[in-house]
């Protein structure tokens, strides 16, 4: 029982809000990870987004936004009765990253059961050592140059552009004199494929900051939380509900379980393996 008292205490610990700035643009990527080498035809995938500010960036899954869009659209259907169908065609990534290059700071947000159930740690922002190549090509209408690096057990190839006023990249990839639009390891087991660049709507601002519902923790505490979730989901969600975090998620999606019910279906073309024997970072 003591361990669940610890769980409640962590869930209720106030979050320290870090420095923030408004995002001015965002890059969308299609992310693919062959996480199970015994089932290479069943990779996990997600739509991810990199929010860009003048001095910071925020890399995260875009699945929450897509789910909300689907829920909002179904509510507007003429025959809507409170029943919704959510087609799952991604496996949301579990780690989000905020980068503050001028401060040499990286914030790692670890999601447990969802992005609304998450904890963060802070550390140094490590840039890769890149070798610039002469190869160029066009991606999304932007002229890009190739660069290569070795990072945490994989050899990466990236394509970056200087035609946009940013120096950033998806996930932990950074340190090039431009914006990374595409990147992949040489085995193509980890792929970030460019899927669009947009200005952020000033009427719906996005702040590059640790969300208010994300709690600060140590790596050991976060690992313990994940183990609790894996060991007894029912008891974990009961504690999560008591913390108020489920209410925050329901408010974001516009869900009232007294009025709404759902069917969840994996897209028939998406059959990911949930066994990971091939992590993104082979060494750390």
Sign of CA dihedral 106, 181, 49, 148: negative
Task: State pTM to two decimals.
Answer: 0.90
**Is the Cβ–Cβ distance between 142 and 162 less than 8 Å?**
no
N-to-C CA span, the chain:
34
Q: Look at residue 35 and tell me if it is in a domain.
A: yes
Domain that holds residue 26: 2-266
Q: Look at residue 127 and tell me if it is in a domain.
A: yes
Q: What is the pLDDT of residues 142-194, one digit of tens each?
A: 999 999 999 999 999 999 999 999 999 999 999 999 999 999 999 999 999 99
Angle at which helices 2-12 and 233-243 cross, to 10°: 40
Q: Look at residue 281 and tell me if it is in a domain.
A: no
Q: Which residues pair with 32 in a beta bridge?
A: 45, 191
Q: Look at residue 275 and tell me if it is in a domain.
A: no
- Number of domains comprising the chain: 1
Nearest Cα residue to 144 out of 161, 164, 130, 132: 161
Q: What is the pLDDT along the chain (284 residues), one digit of tens a residue?
A: 434 334 444 444 444 445 579 999 999 999 999 999 999 999 999 999 999 999 999 999 999 999 999 999 999 999 999 999 988 899 999 999 999 999 999 999 999 999 999 999 999 988 899 999 999 999 999 999 999 999 999 999 999 999 999 999 999 999 999 999 999 999 999 999 999 999 998 888 899 999 999 999 999 999 999 999 999 999 888 888 888 888 999 999 998 888 888 888 878 889 999 999 999 999 87
């Amino acid at each position: 029982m003591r361990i669940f008292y610890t769980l409640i205490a962590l869930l209720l610990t106030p979050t320290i809000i870090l420095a923030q700035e408004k995002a001015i643009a965002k890059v969308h990527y299609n992310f693919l990870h062959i996480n199970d080498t015994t089932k290479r035809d069943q990779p996990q995938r997600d739509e991810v987004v990199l929010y860009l500010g003048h001095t910071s960036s925020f890399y995260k899954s875009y699945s929450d936004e897509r789910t909300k869009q689907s829920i909002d659209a179904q509510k507007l259907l003429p025959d809507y009765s409170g029943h919704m169908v959510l087609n799952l065609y991604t496996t949301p990534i579990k780690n989000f990253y905020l980068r503050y290059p001028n401060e040499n700071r990286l914030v790692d947000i670890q999601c447990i059961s969802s992005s609304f159930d998450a904890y963060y740690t802070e550390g140094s922002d490590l840039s890769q050592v890149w070798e610039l190549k002469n190869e160029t090509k066009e991606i999304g209408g932007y002229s890009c140059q190739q660069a290569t690096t070795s990072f945490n057990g994989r050899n990466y190839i990236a394509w970056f552009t200087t035609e946009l006023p940013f120096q950033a990249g998806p996930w932990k990839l950074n340190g090039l004199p431009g914006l990374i639009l595409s990147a992949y390891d040489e085995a193509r087991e980890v792929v970030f494929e460019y899927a669009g660049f947009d200005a952020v709507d000033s009427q719906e601002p996005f702040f590059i900051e640790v969300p208010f519902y994300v709690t600060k923790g140590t790596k050991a505490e976060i690992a313990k939380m994940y183990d609790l979730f894996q060991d007894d989901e029912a008891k974990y969600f009961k504690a999560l509900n008591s913390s108020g975090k489920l209410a925050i998620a329901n408010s974001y999606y516009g869900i009232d379980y007294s009025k709404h019910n759902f069917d969840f279906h994996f897209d028939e073309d998406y059959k990911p393996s949930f066994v990971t024997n091939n992590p993104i970072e082979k060494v750390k």
